Amino acid sequence: MKIAIGADHAGFEYKKAITEFLQEKGYEIMDFGTDSNEAVDYPDHAVLVAKAVNMEKADLGILICGTGIGMSIAANKVKGIRAALITSSFTAESSKTHNHANVITFGSRVNTIAEVLSFIEIFMKTKESNETRHQQRVDKIGKYEVENE
Ligand code: RB5
């Protein structure tokens, strides 16, 4: 499984820790920066990760900024992306079961790195629900996206 990862200056330390954590588990990581605390614009990194997922070069995207909010807003502008901001074990699980998230975002100023790694573990082991109501809602997200083009 290939995972695209990106961060801004507020998230790059978390990106490093998440990358090591996932590589140890055998995941292949595609790193889209940034790699220092020099200020960058989070949408520039969000779009690179989101496009890798949209083009099926990666199976999942992970984005980190200070809040996780900017990254999720920016990633959701890319076609086919369902980016979820995860702040708890509950949202880690339900973003997979209910929303079939293909990009997950985190805030380095919201959760500790230990919490974020535990949320990622929960997300990875959770399966998308194929119950009709969830699938129907996810399908509608894609449908509305096309209608608004
Ligand atoms: C950068 O200071 C901060 O605005 C950014 O990391 C993020 O929190 C935006 O949503």
Query: Are the C-beta atoms of residues 6 and 49 closer than 8 Å to each other?
Result: yes
Residue 148 pLDDT > 80, yes or no?
A: no
Ligand 1 pocket member 10 (CB < 6 A): yes
The chain-wide mean pLDDT, for the chain, equals 96
- In the chain the domains, ranked by start, together with CATH numbers, are 2-143 (3.40.1400.10)
Number of CB atoms found within 10 A of residue 122's CB: 18
Task: Please work out whether the CB of residue 85 comes within 6 Å of at least one atom of ligand 1.
Answer: no
Catalytic residues: 65, 98
Residue 5 has pLDDT above 60, yes or no: yes
CB 18 within 8 A of CB 3: no
Distance CA 122, CA 35 (A): 26
Question: What is the position in ligand 1's atom list of the atom closest to the CA of 11?
Answer: 6
φ and ψ of 40, to 5 deg: -130, 175
Give me the pLDDT at residue 146, please. Answer: 78
CA distance 13 to 92: 21
Candidates 9, 45, 65: which one to mutate for ligand 1, based on the most atoms within 8 Å of Cβ?
A: 65
What pLDDT digit, counting tens, does each position of 6-25 carry? 999 999 999 999 999 999 99
Nearest protein CA to atom 10 of ligand 1, as residue: 70
Q: Other CB atoms closer than 10 Å to residue 35's CB: what's the count? A: 12
Q: What is the pTM of this model?
A: 0.97
